[in-house]
Chain A
């Protein structure tokens, strides 16, 4: 067996390091510098005054709140194939299918609900959808409500959400 022992250098050997106090003062210098710089100009602190200032760094890949896409004629894209509900690890998608009578497709959802309290925002429903009917590109990151029922998004609400990045109709 070859000699593969590697001696890792230890860093607390010199007297200055073993005394510990110089290191404490080095640390105090760093924190005190941050403190004084920020006290001198508090608006230069890189942070968001959140409810008034909104984040500006939401990209197209950000998984925000879901939306259901439309066809060119404005009708719903979804064909109620249940792929998203099957793929959902949180089982938060509830679909009831109905027959579509306008001749464009055979099926469409009568009820399409997403319980955002259950949803883990993993994006598997978007991956699973064969029709590009569900997307998470709304850029909405905060959902508020006063009752649990407020957090269950209905089909109408999901259809009403707009894409935050232009392009509204589905690509499929």
Chain B
């Protein structure tokens, strides 16, 4: 292995860890802010560091400090099983985190004749890894519910386990029809397949080629992540906090964060399998590399426009009403953030202009294409995370029996039907 590939691999691992871990405070904050705005409230917007509120995202870090210094409590009846009681949330958290590691953030980087995967775990069986590791998380929930030794915890653990069993089938079968379509189990190859067009003009995204499988898999992934409307494993009115009832402080936070990492992972899988992954629609990696100067100039023009609109929005909204006497330094914050944003825009634009003068296919162009694809992936990921959050605050929860009915009586037959149709089309018509 050359120094270059080691550097790229390390950078990819750091990127994956940051994307998974830094996303947690952002998602927790987004959940509360989006929920508030949907319900015509404001959500957390006060916490600040030296007057910098960043819209309130500092609140999440304050919450983490609170959870770290809270009292650790163990039910007295655990006895010698305390290690398993502590291990359970770690299993849930770690499995969600590991499952994220096979997502490709950009196309293979070809530099000086070396081909490097922009994937924290450079494996070629990504979807199998996700199915295998992603569902280990429920074992942590079952351990936690069983060790807590009370009825609410046990019921919550049972519900999450049975829910997982029911929907794993629909999920697996939905994924099989996608594997049939793409002819591969490698996430990166799946994204490659999606960079073409279908019917001549639509991007060949999985959601457009296989809408039924997309619905089945997205619904199943909502269940896998235990999110509303399928959050039957916990419910204040029925079983307190489900398997988390006896958990306090950081152990509780592990479960809590694991849920958000799982949601992030599920979004990444959905984006990669059904929404073109890191690809811009109609622009495959080859097109991007070949015409990078045109793309660069588009960004050079579009980025300042976008930043201008954002600063205008910030000036209007990072304020308080005239009836409020103090604005807690929001005016100053807006100024500083505007300067930082403008400086960043200028730097990025200068770099892009410099790159666009280089000949096509140079190393700088290749790296720039990779960075662009990472940015596109992160944007799609955020969009899907917000979709998860908006769905949670839109739909009422399903009753437990309705969850099972939907899984066994609707999604399972649908996914089976979809496999038949896909197989007939792929094997009978196309070959």
The answer to whether A28 touches B323 (Cβ under 8 A) is no
Q: How far is the CA of A32 from the CA of B34 in the complex (A)?
A: 10
The answer to whether A38 touches B326 (Cβ under 8 A) is no
Determine chain A's interface SS by DSSP, over half rule.
Answer: helix
Q: How far is the CA of A40 from the CA of B314 in the complex (A)?
A: 10
Within 8 A of B (CB), among A27-72: 27-28, 30-32, 34-35, 38-43, 45-47, 49, 52-53
A contact residues, total (Cβ < 8 Å): 21
Interface size class of B (residues with CB under 8 A): 20 to 34
The answer to whether A31 touches B38 (Cβ under 8 A) is yes
Closest to A34 in B: B38
The answer to the question of A21 belonging to the interface, with a C-beta cut-off of 8 Å to chain B, is yes
Q: How far is the CA of A42 from the CA of B319 in the complex (A)?
A: 9
The answer to whether B42 touches A47 (Cβ under 8 A) is yes
Residues on the A chain within 8 Å of B317, using CB: 39, 41-43
The answer to the question of A104 belonging to the interface, with a C-beta cut-off of 8 Å to chain B, is no
The answer to whether A52 touches B320 (Cβ under 8 A) is yes
Q: Which of B316, B325, B394 contacts A28 (CB 8 A)?
A: B394
The answer to whether A24 touches B40 (Cβ under 8 A) is no
Residues on the A chain within 8 Å of B316, using CB: 41
The answer to the question of B41 belonging to the interface, with a C-beta cut-off of 8 Å to chain A, is yes
Residues on the A chain within 8 Å of B1, using CB: none
Q: Which of A31, A38, A40, A47 contacts B394 (CB 8 A)?
A: A31
* Known contacts A27-B395, A35-B37; A43/B390 CB under 8 A: no
- Chain B's nearest CB lies how many Å from the CB of A30? 7
Q: How far is the CA of A38 from the CA of B41 in the complex (A)?
A: 9
- Chain B's nearest CB lies how many Å from the CB of A43? 5
Residues on the A chain within 8 Å of B394, using CB: 24, 27-28, 30-31
Q: How far is the CA of A49 from the CA of B41 in the complex (A)?
A: 10
- Chain A's nearest CB lies how many Å from the CB of B217? 14
The answer to whether B324 touches A52 (Cβ under 8 A) is yes
Q: How far is the CA of A47 from the CA of B325 in the complex (A)?
A: 16
Q: How far is the CA of A64 from the CA of B391 in the complex (A)?
A: 40
Binding site for B on A (CB under 8 A): 21, 24, 27-28, 30-32, 34-35, 38-43, 45-47, 49, 52-53
Binding site for A on B (CB under 8 A): 34, 37-42, 215, 313, 316-317, 319-321, 323-326, 390-391, 393-395
